[in-house]
Amino acid sequence: MPRGRYALHDPHDHTPLAEEHFQCAPGPTGWRYVARRTTPTGEHTGSVDLTLDDLGRPLRLELHAGSWQVRGAALDGVTWVRTDPTGAHATEGTVRAHAFTGTSPAFLVATARLLRLTPSAAATRVRLVALTDPVLAPRTVDQSWALVDSEAHATDNGPLTVDTYQVTTLDTGEQHSVHIAGDVVLSAPGIELEDLESPPSTFA
């Protein structure tokens, strides 16, 4: 069961934004990721709880950021309920999308798991509902994912396969690379793996 810490920063000016203390593991239904968010000085700011099924679809999502909360799942696309800071008004949404995304590294692992790309495959288009900090407001984004490299690296615990994805945001044309080993993101824009207590899990 991987357990560790990601450092999250602004991808443009590298201003530190948060740390995400996580643990994740494959399970009987698929994969689960839980994490708590803190400021760089250690103050609690939110949490992530994401469970995928065997096909990589979101069985259950619960996000907290400040006083905001979102609960969601795959249902007629993806469906969610977003609660405001007072708790008095909840809004519901449903979009014909494949999954959720956001600032947590968990969403990159989830999208890669959902698409299951091979290095020889063409880029695949995916529609996602982005829930972004600080208020978890939903917006629909279209991306293109391609697996451009898959390389095994020798480690003390045996070979570790690192997959490199090229991700393109289709409405802007912006491209970036995402490096994933098993169920752990090694690096991506705004994300650095700072600490890992055990090797990444591998999916069957």
Domain membership flag for residue 54: yes
Q: Which domain holds residue 130?
A: 3-198
Amino acid present at 93: G
What residues in the chain have per-residue pLDDT under 70?
Answer: 204
Domain membership flag for residue 20: yes
φ, ψ dihedrals at 110, nearest 5°? -65, -45
* CA within 13 Å, CB half, 189: 14
Domain membership flag for residue 204: no
Burial of 48 (0-12, 13-18, 19+ CB in 10 A): buried
Please count the structural domains in the chain: 1
pLDDT tens figures, 16-36: 999 999 999 998 779 999 999
Domain membership flag for residue 52: yes
pTM over 0.75: yes
pLDDT tens figures, 51-83: 999 999 999 999 999 889 999 999 989 999 999
φ, ψ dihedrals at 31, nearest 5°? -155, 140
Amino acid present at 124: T
Rounded CA separation 69/150 (Å):
36
Domain membership flag for residue 118: yes
Domain membership flag for residue 136: yes
